[in-house]
Chain A
Amino acid sequence: GNSVTQMEGPVTLSEEAFLTINCTYTATGYPSLFWYVQYPGEGLQLLLKATKADDKGSNKGFEATYRKETTSFHLEKGSVQVSDSAVYFCALTPQAGTALIFGKGTTLSVSS
């Protein structure tokens, strides 16, 4: 079946540190891949996406590259800020006509 696996959290970093959150997936066909972010007490917001192999999604200093050979979509940021503290969800759509499938989420906590 289709699924998304994220690294377990929480991830705790100091401000300006480098961030990597690992995400791997299992899917039939050619899924589209997404990262969503959830700030405390709020719903989710789309952070970035990639719709085909080797595409790189980027937004607000975050990047992720669609790697079909390793079925991965790892999230990276070169220098995190306190305001980046949130829960990050990796997700995919396996095919048309179905809903997004989410990973379990990774909590990021950044201290100054």
Chain B
Amino acid sequence: DGGITQSPKYLFRKEGQNVTLSCEQNLNHDAMYWYRQDPGQGLRLIYYSQIVNDFQKGDIAEGYSVSREKKESFPLTVTSAQKNPTAFYLCASSIQPGGRYEKLFFGSGTQLSVL
């Protein structure tokens, strides 16, 4: 079945540690996105990528980094510079990058917590 797979489902970070969240899709979608979800804050865009080897910052990119070396994969690294990383992270993809009829397909999310 086609879809988006995020792993792990739960992740714990120690102080000063970088952690990487995985996102893989087999939908052959060009565009991929990372959103952060906090209670009462809705979804805020961290990074997005419209094609391989290219990505743009979203509204809250500070303390995060991404890569897009393959069409299927868009990993997110939460660096030690992100002082408040505890949140639910959602990866998404779409057929076309930012089209007017855009429908996003979401993964099931990763809950990141700080030890």
The distance in angstroms between the C-alpha atoms of A75 and B110, with both chains bound, is: 28
Q: Which residues of the other chain, A, contact B41 by a CB distance below 8 angstroms?
A: 104
- Looking at chain A's contact residues, the main secondary structure is loop
The distance in angstroms between the C-alpha atoms of A36 and B90, with both chains bound, is: 14
The distance in angstroms between the C-alpha atoms of A33 and B33, with both chains bound, is: 18
Task: Given the known inter-chain contacts A99-B45, A99-B48, A105-B42, please indicate yes or no for A32 contacting B108, CB distance below 8 A.
Answer: no
Q: Which parts of B80-103 form the interface with A (CB within 8 Å)?
A: 90, 92, 97-103
Q: Which parts of A39-98 form the interface with B (CB within 8 Å)?
A: 41-46, 49, 51, 89, 93, 95-98
Q: Which residues of the other chain, B, contact A100 by a CB distance below 8 angstroms?
A: 33, 45, 102, 104
Q: Does B25 sit within 8 A of A, measured CB to CB?
A: no
B101 A99 Cβ-Cβ under 8 A: no
Q: Does B106 sit within 8 A of A, measured CB to CB?
A: yes
A-side interface size class: 20 to 34
| Chain B nearest Cβ from A34, distance in angstroms | 8
A43 B108 Cβ-Cβ under 8 A: yes
Q: Which residues of the other chain, B, contact A46 by a CB distance below 8 angstroms?
A: 103-104
* Cross-chain contact of B101 among A43, A51, A95 (Cβ < 8 A): A51
A96 B58 Cβ-Cβ under 8 A: no
The distance in angstroms between the C-alpha atoms of A34 and B45, with both chains bound, is: 16
Q: Which residues of A contact B (CB under 8 A)?
A: 32, 34, 36, 41-46, 49, 51, 89, 93, 95-105
Q: Which residues of B contact A (CB under 8 A)?
A: 4, 6, 33, 35, 40-45, 48, 50, 58, 90, 92, 97-104, 106-109
- Interchain Cβ contacts under 8 Å between A and B, 6 examples: A32-B100, A32-B101, A45-B106, A96-B99, A97-B50, A100-B45
- Add 12 more A-B contacts to A42-B108, A102-B42, A105-B42 (CB < 8 A): A32-B102, A42-B109, A43-B6, A43-B90, A43-B106, A89-B43, A93-B98, A97-B98, A99-B48, A99-B98, A100-B45, A104-B41
